[in-house]
Amino acid sequence: MEWKGEAMTDLDRDDVVSILDYFRDLEDSRSTVNRKHLLGDLIVISICGVLSGADGPKAIGIWAKSNSTWLQGHLELPNGVPSHDTIGRLLATLKASAFQSCFQKWIASLRDEAENHDTQELVAIDGKALRRSHDRKHDLGPLFLVSAWSVQRGISLGQLATEEKSNEITAIPELIESIDVTGAIVTIDAAGCQKNIAAKIIDGGGDYVLALKGNQGNLHQGVVDWIVEQTENEFANVETRYHKETLKGHGRLDILEYYHFKIPDSLPGLSQWKGLRTIGMAIRTSRQGEKKTVDVRYFISSLRLGVRRFAKAIRGHWGIENTLHWCLDVTFREDDSRVRNRLAADNLAWLKRFAISLLKQQKDKESIAMRRRMAGWNADYLAQVLGIQGG
């Protein structure tokens, strides 16, 4: 099927309806006064606009007007193409959790179609601030978003907005409840190393690898002291798993060393951590020119002893900065967003994460930035990204 600026054929309508099916249960929170545009039309326009390079309501509105003939051939649009103000009002009223829930049904279909079903899913949970979203008029700092990212599949599984980074601890359990972690390994940085979060993951049918720092004072110090003691004894009295990797790129050499141990019975507070089985250490030695840096990190985990799987989980969590956060900042210019309305900022941020998820499913060799440009340049490519089959 080719998406042309002509009257909608039955096949065209069926394809668009298949997208809208994911949003059938979404409550229309707009005022009923002077409501001229269909909710489904506005959602499809918002998705297409963000995929095609739009970074906010105004840009989405301009994109829609620039592609009005094409849109009128594929959507109902009883009162024409909506303005950017209409798009902005929609994003500022939709309940973020309900909006994301609809997209998660779409995401589930992507996961069902994805390859490597036998590969254990790795879910990285991490937070990111929208740096320019502060609202001094209302004494609000930057909006902080906690995201769940499927590392292998390149799919955003969910997000939760908080007003401050300090609220990340309370946001993570709620986010875990909203996604399916059955059979997955969930990785979280030190801020999320909490007993209730570990229990939530285990209760959800998953495993965890949690970074450990001083926020868990006695446990952290106990792990460090125990591993240092075993190192001084050259691991003579404990069962140890060791793995080493060497990475080269951009003029830098990284040597990654991983140590994995069964949990020692002497650790303080051991019984309070549900599912805790192993501890580990990761050492990154980086050389760039004459400069050398060494970074040592410690972890607790519900995984059975097996250093390669442990290493893969840690390396995957480090990768979230490159595969999601860097892409959001550079390709989608998220840090430049000046959207003040918190609901609108949350919904727009989710649209960007969902757009990355769709763009990452493409099999060509182009970058995410180039795929986004191609979606804006070529309606057939945009249709392909949306999962609409040719006919």
Find the mean pLDDT for residues 152-174. 81
Structurally, how many domains does the chain consist of? 2
Within this chain, do residues 215 and 302 fall inside the same structural domain, yes or no?
A: yes
Separation CA 102–CA 251 (nearest Å): 44
Within this chain, do residues 220 and 269 fall inside the same structural domain, yes or no?
A: yes
- Two tokens at 258? 């991983």
Within this chain, do residues 21 and 95 fall inside the same structural domain, yes or no?
A: yes
pLDDT in tens, 175-218: 999 899 999 999 999 889 999 999 999 999 999 999 998 777 78
Band (pLDDT 50/70/90 cuts) for residue 285 is very high
Separation CA 323–CA 197 (nearest Å): 24
Neighbour-count burial for 315-324, b at 16+ CB within 10 Å, e otherwise: bbbbebeebb
Residue type, 203: D
Q: Is residue 59 part of a domain?
A: yes
pLDDT of amino acid 201: 97
Q: Report angle CA 94, 98, 101 to the nearest 5 degrees.
A: 135
Q: Is residue 358 part of a domain?
A: yes
Q: Is residue 133 part of a domain?
A: no
Q: Is residue 217 part of a domain?
A: yes
Domain that holds residue 21: 10-99+342-385
Residue type, 343: L
Q: Is residue 154 part of a domain?
A: no
Closest CA to 48 of 37, 59, 38: 59
pLDDT of amino acid 83: 95
Q: Is residue 248 part of a domain?
A: yes
Within this chain, do residues 286 and 224 fall inside the same structural domain, yes or no?
A: yes
pLDDT in tens, 117-150: 557 899 999 988 776 665 666 666 678 889 999 9
The answer on pLDDT for 263 being more than 50 is yes
Q: What percent of the chain has pLDDT above 70?
A: 87
Q: Is residue 323 part of a domain?
A: no
Band (pLDDT 50/70/90 cuts) for residue 5 is very low
Q: Examine the fold and report which residue of 261, 289, 307 is the final residue of a domain before the chain moves on.
A: 307
Largest CA distance in the chain: 77
Band (pLDDT 50/70/90 cuts) for residue 278 is very high
Within this chain, do residues 300 and 356 fall inside the same structural domain, yes or no?
A: no
Residue type, 103: F
Q: Examine the fold and report which residue of 262, 292, 307 is the final residue of a domain before the chain moves on.
A: 307
Q: Are 311 and 284 in contact (CB under 8 A)?
A: no
Band (pLDDT 50/70/90 cuts) for residue 375 is very high
Separation CA 165–CA 140 (nearest Å): 13
Neighbour-count burial for 49-64, b at 16+ CB within 10 Å, e otherwise: bbbbbbbbbebbbebb
Find the mean pLDDT for residues 143-165. 84
Strand partners, 245: 256
Q: Where are the beta strands (DSSP E) in the chain?
A: 122-130, 143-150, 155-162, 185-188, 207-212, 240-249, 252-262, 278-288, 291-301
CA distances 141 to 115, 231, 384, Å, are 41, 44, 39
pLDDT of amino acid 11: 37
Band (pLDDT 50/70/90 cuts) for residue 343 is confident
Within this chain, do residues 287 and 356 fall inside the same structural domain, yes or no?
A: no
Within this chain, do residues 215 and 287 fall inside the same structural domain, yes or no?
A: yes
Find the mean pLDDT for residues 145-156. 89
pLDDT of amino acid 257: 97
Q: What percent of the chain has pLDDT above 90?
A: 50
Q: Is residue 116 part of a domain?
A: no
The answer on pLDDT for 99 being more than 70 is yes
Q: Examine the fold and report which residue of 307, 329, 350 is the final residue of a domain before the chain moves on.
A: 307
Q: Are 363 and 59 in contact (CB under 8 A)?
A: no
Global pTM? 0.84
pLDDT of amino acid 212: 93
